[in-house]
Structure 1
Amino acid sequence: MKLHAAAILIIFWLGVFTVHTVKGSAGSQPMRKFSCVSLFTQQLNIRQLVSYEKQQVPVNAIMFITTKGIKICVSPDQKWVQAAMKKIDQKRATKGR
């Protein structure tokens, strides 16, 4: 029984060491949990957008996050997208004061 418990303990510690090693090497490079692969073509309601992230890979896009936490990818070349980003930046600036 002691041998069985020791084997389980060794396997557990090897697992912890492996996770820690992988987490350390991958943790040094930021990884996105959500990445844009296609773009939404319709204009969004700017009042429903709370933040955005710029993305260049795999496609050049702006990922807007709505008040409900929904992430929507759009083309950064559209005029309304630039206006929405500017409005979000202005909101952030006034909150920081």
Structure 2
Amino acid sequence: MKLHTAAILLLFWLGIFTVHTVKGSASSQVMRKFRCVNLSTKQLNIQNLINYERQRVPIDAVMFITARGIRICVSPDQKWVQTAIKRIDDRRAAKRK
């Protein structure tokens, strides 16, 4: 009977260890980055844009991030996109001074 109880306790602790190990490895992974797969065709209000990220894969795009945290992907070839990028870069440079 004691051997049976010891085997059950051993299985119980192995189960807890396995769950703890799996949970720890999943939570220690780097957060997945957002990727553009579709591009918006609308021109955005440049004043609402606070940041951007460039992307080459899977498509060439610029992901703008609005003041509300919304991410919108657009084509980097558009003139207004280049203007928006320059304005965001200028704001960053002014903050550093």
Q: Percent identity?
A: 43
Which residue identity does 2:16 align to in structure 1?
F
Counterpart for residue 16 of structure 1: 20
Q: How does 1:45-84 map to 2 (within 5 A)?
A: 45-84=45-84
| CA shift in 2, pair 1:5/1:66, >3 Å | farther
Q: Which of the two has higher C-alpha Rg?
A: 2
1:9 offset after TM fit, Å?
3.0
- Alignment length (residue pairs): 93
TM-score normalised per structure 2 = 0.77
Q: Aligned to 2:53, what secondary structure does the other structure show?
A: strand
* Separation in 2, partners of 1:57, 1:49: 22
1:77 offset after TM fit, Å?
0.7
* Separation in 2, partners of 1:80, 1:50: 15
Q: How does 1:24-39 map to 2 (within 5 A)?
A: 27=30, 31-32=32-33, 34-39=34-39
1:35 offset after TM fit, Å?
1.3
1:6 offset after TM fit, Å?
4.3
Counterpart for residue 89 of structure 1: 89
Structure 2: runs of 5 or more not aligned? none
1:40 offset after TM fit, Å?
0.3
* Separation in 2, partners of 1:50, 1:90: 11
Counterpart for residue 41 of structure 2: 41
TM-score normalised per structure 1 = 0.77
Q: Aligned to 1:51, what secondary structure does the other structure show?
A: strand
